Amino acid sequence: MSSDLFELRVIDLDPEGRRVRLRVYVVYYDITVVDGHVTETWAQPLPRDASFFFRVLWGAYWDNHGVEGRTPIGDAVVKTQIHDNEWVNANTARFVERVDELTRRNDPPDEGDWLRMHRHYYQGDPDGDRDDELHRVQADYDLWVTDERWLEHLDPDESWGTAYYPTHASGFHHTTSQDGIRWTTYRIPAG
């Protein structure tokens, strides 16, 4: 069983504009079903901090190829740094300029979605129904980086799983619209 919390997919890539659009799927759920009815649920919350995006950007090559480095961001940041919460919180703004949440889907899931996920994760894929992705909690984000080199290792439609999680990057502030759908993290200018 995987210990991944999220799956990511590159939806759009604009290196010259220093932007990548990522779809983030929650893949860690805890679901209790009794007599065919969902009785208890918990889903890993969608990320809401720039530190998560810094970590997954660094980890994309590692997660897809099983090796560290070999990318500009992998050369600039070593594994011990990316696993040090204090270092990540203090240095995220060196690599991530801004993150905008664009759209959120299936949050929270309805009972039918919980049942589909329960079947998929605990019983395998009995129906041959591979569209569980449609029913997962998910969101699309635009991520702007401080240097286009930080995107060199990404390809359109590339996907990977990760156990990285958000912490609390300094130098950013967060806003949520009244309807709770759009969340943005902005870098606070120095001075």
Note the pLDDT tens digit of each residue in 51-76. 999 999 998 866 555 555 578 998 89
Q: How far apart are CA 99 and CA 53, in angstroms?
A: 8
Q: Which one is predicted more confidently, 92 or 42?
A: 92
Mean per-residue pLDDT for 21-35?
90
Taking only the tens place, the pLDDT of each residue in 119-176 is 666 655 555 555 567 888 999 999 999 999 999 999 999 999 999 989 988 877 766 6
Give me the residues paired with residue 7 across strands.
Answer: 25, 161
Spatial neighbors of 91 by CB under 8 A, at least 6 apart, are 54, 77, 81
Mean per-residue pLDDT for 33-50?
88
Q: What integer pLDDT is reported at residue 191 of this predicted model? A: 43
Q: Is the pLDDT of residue 35 over 80?
A: yes
Angle, vertex CA 71, rays to CA 70 and CA 75, nearest 5: 80
Locate 102 and state its tokens: 């664009």
Taking only the tens place, the pLDDT of each residue in 94-115 is 999 999 999 999 988 888 888 8
Give the 3-state secondary structure of the chain.
Answer: CCCCCEEEEEEEEECCCCEEEEEEEECCEEEEEECCEEEEEEECCCCCCHHHHHHHHHHHHHHHHCCCCCCHHHHHCCHHHHCCHHHHHHHHHHCEEEEEEEEEECCCCCHHHHHHHHHHHHHCCCCCCCHHHHHCCEEEEEEEECCHHHHCCCCCCCEEEECCCCCCCCCEEEEECCCCCCEEEEECCCC
